[in-house]
Structure 1
Amino acid sequence: MTTSPKKAPLLIGIDGRSGAGKTTLAVELSARLRAHRSVSLFHIEDIYPGWDGLEAGIRRYVDTVLTPLSTAHDAEWTTWDWSADDDGPRKTTPVADVVVIEGVGACSEAARDLLDVTIWVEAEEPERKARALDRDGETYIPFWDTWAGQETGWLADDPVPERADILVRNQADGTAVSQVLDLLCHHPAAATALAPEHAWLASRPVTIEAAGPLDGVDPERLFHSLFGSLERAVWLDSSDAGRPGSTRNRFSILAGGPALGLAATHRAGTTELSRDAAVARFDLPFFRWLGTAWTPTTTPAPDGYDCPFRLGWLGWLGYELKRETGGSDVDTSAAAVPDAALLFADRAVVLDHERGTAWALSLVLPGDDDGWTATVRHALEAARQAPAGPAPGLAAPAFTARDSHRSYLEKVVASQDQIREGNSYEVCLTTTLSAPAPGFDPWEAYRALRRRNPAPFASFLRFGAVTVASTSPERFLSIGASGDMLAEPIKGTRRRSPDPTEDAALKVDLATSLKDRAENVMIVDLLRNDLSHFSVPGSVTVPRLLAIESYATVHQMVSSIGAQLAPGASRVEAIAAAFPAGSMTGAPKISTMDILDGLEDGPRGVYSGAVGYFSLDGSVDLSVVIRTLVAAGSGEDTVLSLGVGGAITADSDPEDEYQEIRTKAFGVLSTLGAEYPGA
């Protein structure tokens, strides 16, 4: 009778200096994992050959324990008898579904290639020493300095904390194991092996309860009372939902400070996922990580709840993620703003502006009552009784432009040269305005922006020292739970006039402009191609072409492209295939992005990217980041940026194109009391 070969285990190394809390974390993690699979636990201290044997112990561990386990063989190793100061009996660590290895040197350079996940536990030296001596008693006291010196020398040559996948900082209160387990469940190397935990996290029932009517509720006060003091908060704000004729987006979503504490940022090829004091680092493309972390599941909703959002990830994807979708790599490693930032919302409030109802959403087990719905009801009443009041006046920032009037005209001409040479049909050229703004309050600025420029896809996102305040009218891409896809590009803009007759004439001028119609149609064709890659053949349609929509400060030309996601197709790959929005690149997309990299003198950052959500039920709704102010830094070091641009075609008039970017900047600048630089 033959036996089936053993499967290589998931190997998790837990490292850190003496007394950091490695053993406690390893024991608790192993206990939690044993609920669904077999687990072996190995302590390296059982193999060190004496108090001066750190380096020798690491070699013995790699050779006799880690190497056989990594090839699905039981590890047979020699213990160290500390009382006899000599080798002790032989022991075996069996292959299991998961093997947890803890101790100083567990994630050393020689071990990292064999481990699937490396964890470094960090704590301050006085706390470590007290904890270690308390654990090991007086036997350790004479050897503390000897052992600590070996650790220092080893780490000088092998900077393990910088190379670890997960960093846990000073967590001795018993919360570290939950933090680490959540990060492991989103780690590409561990997610499959930890599927039961991962499924439990993603498929816990989403509780959706009506919290009360919206009559008289000030949404600004509601958001501020629930999430205003939190480091991370997101408001996807359909701020024009009450405007006559507004039908684009009937829902607003408010979320922040989730109980799970999961947040992700991506910068120059590395994604960091944090939960409280624990941080995981993944050196892989952002969209690949998102495909692992976002696991759509069935999430039923009660009658009357029509919003696609069922909790999940919310945030922004910056333009420079184009490096993963066919564009060239622009270095953003030193940028103050990450390439992407998402938070996992396990609590949220959804406002249905059409039905006038607020809904409280939470991710809890049946029978649990975390009081969230009661909290939302109380906040609704407070927001109804005391409106937020007028937005205060703002000190006008002094913006400077990356491109002068002359240089922008020269770049328009250079774009047209590329078009005439056949390298592009349409080049969406952009520039950036920036301003130092010490003491600037992004929240008050957003309050003023949303009132002056209400938009269906407005948003306020605060991620620590970076805040995004957007009044975008443009949907990039939505995907419903059933796979219906919709893109709604905007191409063509006219500033509105306070004179009704002139305003109507401007609207007609936009609707009949051959240049604007040509720009829009080219982007429609590009998006039809983008959506076709992952759609059912023959399902791509254009239900709306060259429609005119009017907003507070501008008229816009908008089209709609629909498609049906093919069965089994990856939603993340479908999003990546269309990213960045064609309305912000031009056509054809890949070659035009290369042209833009040569013309634009720096990364676009958040601007031209996307803002929105990735729901647990598989639905997605993302807007295009335009009409958007980004504040980076805090206090006296705050810096503002505003991206603006326009589509260049062969028959563009350079001066008209320059005036168009001024028109697009007007809504944000005028709200701040600022002017376009050089005007």
Structure 2
Amino acid sequence: MWVGYLGYELKQEVGASNLSAEISPGVNRPDAQFFAPDTVVIIDHELGQMHLHSINKPDAEITIVLGNPPQQRSGQDLCVPHFTCADTAAGYQEKIRRAQHEIYEGNTYEVCLTTELTAQVEDFNPFEAYCRMRQSSPAPFAHYLRLPKLEVASISPERFLALSKNAQLRAEPIKGTRPRGTDEESDLALKHDLATHPKDRAENIMIVDLLRNDLSHHAVPGSVRVTRLCSVESYATVHQMVSTIDATLKSPELAADALREAFPPGSMTGAPKLSTMNILDELEDHRARGLYSGAVGYLGADGAADFSVVIRTLVCDKLPDRSWRLSLGLGGAITADSVPEDEWEEVITKSRGVLQALGATFPLSTAR
């Protein structure tokens, strides 16, 4: 098994422009990193079983955190970071209007515009941050990676692409977001609004159509099908609209080709993909997204693979001076019907799951 990430800048491999993921002057993060773990613990929640696989004899003591981590652990204080945003509210809304101009010109029909929160702290504990994020906002694709000079704490709710050992492909894009309500009545109203809003459904359906095309390149003809369309899932801080696209791979040998064809995740680019990525480079001031908008997952020895979309993710880079650079990517899909003020509010909404767990807030200087 190989575990790791594919950064957004690997888009150059599918014909998009090449941006360097520079995290500080002269310091670049690799566009992809994978490692082969020597010990793997597999927990089957349906059967209530746990399996341990190791290439070496396991240590006598292996600590496994099951379920939510303990709320209190001595000596695990977390420095509260103070973030700055790459865009002001006015600046981001102007970029939305520029994106809509590209739509009116016929160069794209959906643009996933993003921004970035960053902070630099002298001392930080990324694993503690992950534990708090996982406890306050549990998500189906939450993950924590520890790599040389890089740690990743994610509460991603979105699957990018899964491949079974039987060559079954599955993508589950998310498009459409509402905050959770303050009481049951308002919560149900927000959920209903998301489920029925024409603009959100249009966003989701456009990305479904893009992914149907992505999967069809290496799928058995006629096997691509939408098994779930515009379903609403509820998480701790947001409601999300999710669809499911399934397909059968022509041959197991085409697994890597299928992964490449679908990358970067369509829900993080827009459509059509290539022209929209070029537009995004301009709108986002040629700022590299890095891990954000890429994918994290595994490639199994049996041919299976599963990758999540890197959203709701705190990326922690260890700098040469031993301080930490923290980054949180945020964004949303822009269509012809988008209201710039509403899209900015969605950016703030999407930040809450991570920021609240850290005790941090959205930067007030840019929030309004």
Q: TM-score range by the shorter chain?
A: over 0.9
Question: Any conservation in 2 of the 1:315–1:613 contact (CA below 8 Å)?
Answer: yes
Question: Any conservation in 2 of the 1:336–1:632 contact (CA below 8 Å)?
Answer: no
Residue 40 of structure 2 corresponds to residue 348 of structure 1: yes
Describe the superposition over 1:256-300 as per-residue Cα deviations: whole angstroms up to 9, x where unpaired: xxxxxxxxxxxxxxxxxxxxxxxxxxxxxxxxxxxxxxxxxxxxx
Matches within 5 A, 1:444-459: 444-459=128-143
**Which of 347-356 and 489-498 deviates more?**
347-356
Give, in angstroms, the shift of residue 636 of structure 1.
4.8
State the match for 1:431 in structure 2.
115
Normalising by structure 2, report the TM-score. Answer: 0.93
Residue 318 of structure 2 corresponds to residue 633 of structure 1: yes
Q: Which amino acid aligns with 1:493?
A: T
Matches within 5 A, 1:5-16: none
Question: Any conservation in 1 of the 2:163–2:169 contact (CA below 8 Å)?
Answer: yes
Give, in angstroms, the shift of residue 592 of structure 1.
0.2
Q: Which amino acid aligns with 2:300?
A: S
Question: Any conservation in 2 of the 1:545–1:558 contact (CA below 8 Å)?
Answer: yes
SS of residue in 1 equivalent to 2:79: coil
State the match for 2:20 in structure 1.
331
Give, in angstroms, the shift of residue 352 of structure 1.
1.5
Q: Which amino acid aligns with 1:632?
A: D
Matches within 5 A, 1:479-628: 479-567=163-251, 569-601=253-285, 602-628=287-313
Matches within 5 A, 1:332-481: 332=21, 334-363=26-55, 370-372=56-58, 375=60, 378-379=61-62, 388-390=70-72, 392-481=76-165
SS of residue in 1 equivalent to 2:42: strand
SS of residue in 2 equivalent to 1:536: coil
State the match for 1:225 in structure 2.
none
Describe the superposition over 1:196-227 as per-residue Cα deviations: whole angstroms up to 9, x where unpaired: xxxxxxxxxxxxxxxxxxxxxxxxxxxxxxxx
1:650 is matched with which residue: 333, 336, 348? 336
Give, in angstroms, the shift of residue 563 of structure 1.
0.3
Q: RCO greater where, 1 or 2, for CA within 8 Å and sep 6 or more?
A: 2
For the aligned residue pairs, the C-alpha RMSD in angstroms reads: 1.7
Q: Which amino acid aligns with 1:417?
A: H
Normalising by structure 1, report the TM-score. Answer: 0.51
Question: Any conservation in 2 of the 1:542–1:560 contact (CA below 8 Å)?
Answer: yes
Name the larger-Rg structure: 1
Q: Which amino acid aligns with 2:43?
A: L
Q: Can you give the 5+ residue segments of structure 2 that lack an aligned partner in the other structure?
A: none
SS of residue in 1 equivalent to 2:62: helix
Identity over aligned residues, as a percent?
Answer: 54
Question: Any conservation in 2 of the 1:534–1:569 contact (CA below 8 Å)?
Answer: no
Give, in angstroms, the shift of residue 336 of structure 1.
3.8
Give, in angstroms, the shift of residue 676 of structure 1.
1.0
State the match for 1:664 in structure 2.
350
Q: Can you give the 5+ residue segments of structure 1 that lack an aligned partner in the other structure?
A: 1-311, 364-369
In structure 2, distance between residues paired with 1:355 and 1:498 = 36
Q: Which amino acid aligns with 1:664?
A: K
Give, in angstroms, the shift of residue 467 of structure 1.
0.6
In structure 2, distance between residues paired with 1:630 and 1:546 = 29
In structure 2, distance between residues paired with 1:454 and 1:335 = 33
Give, in angstroms, the shift of residue 437 of structure 1.
1.3
**How many residue pairs get matched?**
356
